[in-house]
Structure 1
Amino acid sequence: MFALVATGSPGGATTLATASGARFGYGRSVPLFLGMALALAGLVGVSGAGLAKTLQTAPVLEMSVKAVGSMYLIWLAARIGLAGPPLPMQSDEETPISLVGGVMLLMINPKAWAMALGVASSFSKLASGPLLLGGLLALVFALSAYLSLTLWALAGGLAARALSADWHWHLFNGTMAVLLTASILQLWV
């Protein structure tokens, strides 16, 4: 249950899935959220297997990941916020974020790191050893993230049907940018 709530709550990944679903549709957005789900599985898995304990002893490293990730996500929010309506007929000039892009985005997402490190320490009693815990957490979070991001992308696709004028798209993209920025700011307060 925790994994569904954690991966389904609004944040950077869900905002990107929604924006991609609106701009490119569900099918073209699958690589993005598949990449994010796989990366989250890996991050949660290695956290459960011992990375969480290592990073707790190196707060500078944890702060560095948080800072770099936040800067990149703010840059991405600006790009989303300044984007206009999609090009007619989804031309090849406009491409959605790839699977590798989804992996990279998740790996620099400070909320994902905070969640992975927190879940590893909170649920450490679920398994008899760190490797089993890492595998269990990876499987549960991969499935939960894929399901959650699918729902957010489908919601974006539904929203796109209502965006009939250019100003609708500007408003939608601006809202997605503000939500993405807000999801980053909450990690710093």
Structure 2
Amino acid sequence: MDSVWPLAMFTVAATITPGGATTLATASGAQFGFRGSIPLMLGIATGLASMAAGAAFGLANVLHISPFLPLALKVAGTLYLLWLAWKIARAPAPGAGTKAARPIGYIAGLWMLWHNPKGWAMTAGAAAAYANLASDPAQLAVLMGLSFGLAAAASLSLWCVAGRELARRINDPAHWRIVNGALGGLIAVSTVPMWV
């Protein structure tokens, strides 16, 4: 168990730091509350867990075979995140009469993670760094998937609760336009590391 602690600390640090997924969880928590955000958070956590397991099992090598696949993932991921950023920036205040129809769901969260080259790089790097924790690729895949999935679920829950609490404290629609604009801007900015 002592040898797993460095991996656990890495996954917690990697998943709790601000980024597109955490900002999306915060915005969803503010707009739809914790319960309404559970499908999104589960989708993101499942996406990251499956990505980590896939990277540990060797799928990251597939990305290096085709020169066009990483670029296609970057473009698709960037466009999707920019679309989400626009939706969040334009969202009304929670409880407003023009409230968004429904929260972002499980598939959208899963899709977002699988099209994130930064996530692939992070999980592939972690799989290489912690490969000595397992005796074979399947065992490493399970270990990496569980570690990243659990850490993501916990950190996204914290960010979602922060968004929900923010919603309880801000009552002015003008302030909500600022908050939603800032959250949308953060998601848009989170695409920059994909291209740098």
TM over 0.5: yes
8 Å CA contact 2:70–2:117 kept in 1: the answer is: no
> Structure 1 residues 176 and 145, CA, compared in 2 at 3 Å: closer, same or farther?
same
Task: Give the superposition deviation at 1:87.
Answer: 3.8
* Identity among equivalent pairs (%): 43
SS of alignment partner, residue 186 of structure 1: helix
Distance in 2 of aligned mates of 1:9 and 1:160:
21
Distance in 1 of aligned mates of 2:93 and 2:168:
12
Task: Give the superposition deviation at 1:171.
Answer: 0.5
Task: Give the superposition deviation at 1:131.
Answer: 1.0
**Residue number in structure 1 paired with 2:68:** 60
Give the counterpart of 1:31 among 34, 39, 43: 39
Task: Give the superposition deviation at 1:124.
Answer: 2.0
| 1:1-189 alignment, distance < 5 Å | 1-88=9-96, 94-189=101-196
Query: What's the CA shift string for 1:29-54, capped at 9, x where partnerless?
Result: 11110111011111110110011223
> Structure 1 residues 79 and 90, CA, compared in 2 at 3 Å: closer, same or farther?
closer
Distance in 1 of aligned mates of 2:156 and 2:133:
25
- More displaced, 26-35 or 119-128? 119-128
Dislocated runs of 4+, deviation >3 Å: 87-91
How many residues are aligned here?
A: 188
Letter in 1 for 2:105: S
8 Å CA contact 1:52–1:120 kept in 2: the answer is: no
TM-score, normalised relative to structure 1: 0.92
- More displaced, 33-42 or 101-110? 101-110
Task: Give the superposition deviation at 1:89.
Answer: 8.1
- More displaced, 29-38 or 121-130? 121-130
Letter in 1 for 2:24: L
Q: Which runs of 5+ in 1 are unaligned?
A: none
Task: Give the superposition deviation at 1:5.
Answer: 0.7
Distance in 1 of aligned mates of 2:129 and 2:194:
18
Distance in 1 of aligned mates of 2:97 and 2:156:
24
